[in-house]
Amino acid sequence: MTVALWCILIALCLPLLCALIAKASSGRFGMRDNHDPRAFLDTLSGLPRRAHAAQQNCFEAFPAFAAAVLVADVVGNAEQVTQDVLSVMYITSRLLYIICYLADLAALRSVVWLVGVGLIVSLFVVSA
Domains in the chain, start-ordered, CATH in brackets?
3-127 (1.20.120.550)
With cut-offs at 50, 70 and 90, classify the pLDDT of residue 29: low
Distant-in-sequence, close-in-space partners of 14: CB < 8 Å, separation ≥ 6 = 58, 91, 94, 95, 98
Contact between residue 2 and residue 82 where contact means Cβ atoms under 8 Å apart: no
Please report the pLDDT score of residue 110 as a whole number.
Answer: 97
Q: Give percent of the chain above pLDDT 70.
A: 95
Mean pLDDT for the chain overall = 92
* 50 has a pLDDT exceeding 90: yes
Summarize the confidence of residues 51-80 as an average pLDDT: 95
Cα-Cα-Cα-Cα torsion 114, 108, 85, 63, nearest 10 degrees, comes to: -50
Please report the pLDDT score of residue 21 as a whole number.
Answer: 92
Lowest-confidence region among 23-27, 75-79, 89-93, 115-119: 23-27
* 100 has a pLDDT exceeding 80: yes
How many CA atoms lie less than 13 Å away from 38 in the CB half-sphere?
A: 1
In 76-105, where does DSSP find H-type helix?
Answer: 80-102
DSSP 43: T
